[in-house]
């Protein structure tokens, strides 16, 4: 049986995403073959395509951090799963495909009846948001937070979960994203025309208790200035290394996966040693999952329950077929996307 998947054979722009047809993979011992129903498109995918993300695989590789799929075939040694079961996974790469084989331990059961595109939004974006709120920053009711990229996939997740937690929320966004930020309970700050540090201090007086920082580099330092005494910057992204969806340095023929993370680390260390009771802490969904996999399953299960109860509603920016992966990356690279872009390999 044949299937299709996206491959990257050279680091670079969206044109490097190519659709190929090949024999369907067979599950090995302990693996499960999953037919993909929805694969998320995220900025980490773009960073990996450019060779910038610390998790960037060697060439050739198939992108795709997160997926929802149907159990299709079981390998030897697999028990407790039946074909037809809906599951979620965070493989980090490989999700842009019709079929993918994954270790059974990587699969999390999905409650029946959920929309696959909404469900896949929880796997990377909402788990990231939930863990940063409740495990990194540990902010409680009435606290003030600043969310960068508040209209995006993780940003909109932070707004929805922050509203449930009773937070006072501010969010940087473009003018285009302001209505979505306001609708989700945040006070928008137009990063293109306003100094967010000055605006935060004008609106709050002393600053916010936490900043969720997705840009990296010197922006971490600016975000620290928006904190009140005792506040925390949770640094989790490197989007400042991109310009228009491409490497800001213009170098993308090779893997530079440690260059940006080294700069990222320097600013985090600087936050620790600088005067003032203001912390900078890193967050990495993949490393927390590797070190404490039970937490990932626990938190994702909580989020599936919230989705079933309609207490959260992921924003879906656009759905593309698998063959539209290049167009999906081009759209994400333009910026201003509200919510999550999703590939649906079944069309």
Beta bridge partners of 147: 171, 212
Buried b or exposed e, range 162-188, using 16+ CB within 10 angstroms: beebebbbbbbbbeebbebbeebebbb
Angle CA 116–117–123, to nearest 5? 85
Q: How many angstroms separate the Cα of 42 from the Cα of each of 46, 96, 193, 237?
A: 7, 12, 26, 12
What's the average model confidence in pLDDT over 148-169?
97
Decide if 2-119+289-344 and 122-287 have a common fold: no
- Alpha carbons 280 and 269: distance in angstroms, whole number: 8
Mean pLDDT of the chain: 93
The pLDDT > 90 percentage for the chain reads 84
The predicted pLDDT at position 245 comes to: 73
Residue 159 has a pLDDT of 98
Helix (H, G, I), strand (E, B) or coil at 231: strand
Q: What is the DSSP string of 185-243?
A: TEEEEETTTS-HHHHHHHHHSS-EEEEEE-S-THHHHHHHTTEEEEEEEEE---GGGEE
Q: How far apart are CA 176 and CA 335, in angstroms?
A: 10
Q: What is the pLDDT of residues 31-62, one digit of tens each?
A: 999 999 999 999 999 999 999 898 999 999 99
pLDDT in tens, 68-102: 999 999 999 999 999 999 999 999 999 999 999 99
CATH class of the domain at 122-287: alpha beta
114-126 tens-digit pLDDT: 999 999 999 999 9
CA 269 and chain centroid, separation = 24
The per-residue pLDDT for range 290-335, each reduced to its tens digit, is 999 999 999 999 999 999 999 999 999 999 999 999 999 999 999 8
101: tokens are 């084989």
Q: Is the pLDDT of residue 214 over 60?
A: yes
CA distance 323 to 342: 12
What confidence score (pLDDT) does residue 165 get?
Answer: 98
Question: How much is the average pLDDT of 11-39?
Answer: 97
Of the candidate CATH numbers 3.90.180.10, 1.10.357.10, 3.40.50.300, 3.40.710.10, the domain formed by 2-119+289-344 belongs to 3.90.180.10
**Residue 244, pLDDT score:** 77
CA separation for the pair 132, 235 (Å, rounded)? 9
Task: State pTM to two decimals.
Answer: 0.94
Q: Name the token pair of 281.
A: 């802490």
**Residue 265 pLDDT:** 66
Statement: residue 242 has pLDDT above 60: yes
Determine the Cα–Cα distance for residues 319 and 265; give it in Å rounded to an integer: 35
Q: Which of 156-170, 181-195, 241-255, 325-339 is least confident?
A: 241-255
Ordered by start, the domain boundaries in the chain are 2-119+289-344, 122-287
């Amino acid at each position: 049986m044949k299937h299709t998947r996206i491959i990257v054979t050279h680091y670079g722009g969206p044109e490097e995403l190519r659709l190929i047809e090949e024999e369907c993979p067979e599950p090995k011992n302990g693996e499960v073959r999953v037919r993909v129903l929805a694969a998320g498109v995220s900025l980490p995918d773009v960073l990996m395509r450019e060779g910038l993300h610390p998790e960037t695989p060697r060439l050739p590789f198939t992108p795709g951090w997160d997926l929802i799929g149907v159990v299709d075939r079981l390998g030897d040694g697999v028990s407790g799963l039946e074909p037809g079961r809906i599951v979620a996974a965070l493989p980090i790469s490989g999700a842009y495909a019709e079929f993918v084989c994954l270790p059974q331990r990587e699969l999390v059961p999905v409650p029946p009846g959920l929309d696959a595109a909404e469900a896949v939004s929880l796997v990377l974006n909402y788990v990231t948001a939930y863990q940063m709120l409740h495990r990194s920053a540990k902010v409680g009711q009435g606290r003030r937070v600043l969310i960068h990229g508040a209209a995006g996939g993780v940003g909109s997740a932070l707004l929805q979960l922050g509203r449930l937690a009773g937070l006072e929320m501010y969010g940087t966004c473009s003018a285009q994203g302001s209505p979505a930020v306001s609708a989700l309970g945040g006070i928008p700050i137009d990063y293109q025309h306003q100094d967010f540090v000055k605006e935060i201090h004008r609106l709050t007086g002393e600053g916010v208790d936490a900043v969720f920082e997705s840009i990296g580099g010197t922006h971490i330092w600016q975000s620290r200035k928006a904190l009140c005494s005792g506040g925390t910057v949770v640094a989790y992204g490197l989007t400042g290394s991109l310009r228009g969806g491409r490497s800001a340095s213009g170098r993308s023929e090779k893997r530079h996966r440690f260059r940006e993370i080294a700069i990222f680390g320097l600013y985090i260390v600087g936050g620790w040693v600088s005067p003032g009771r203001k912390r900078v802490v890193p967050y990495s969904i993949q490393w927390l999952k590797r070190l404490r996999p039970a937490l990932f399953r626990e938190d994702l299960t909580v989020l599936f329950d919230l989705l079933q109860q309609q207490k959260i509603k992921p924003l879906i920016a656009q759905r593309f077929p698998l063959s539209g992966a290049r167009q999906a990356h081009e759209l994400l690279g333009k910026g201003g996307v509200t919510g999550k872009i999703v590939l649906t390999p079944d069309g």
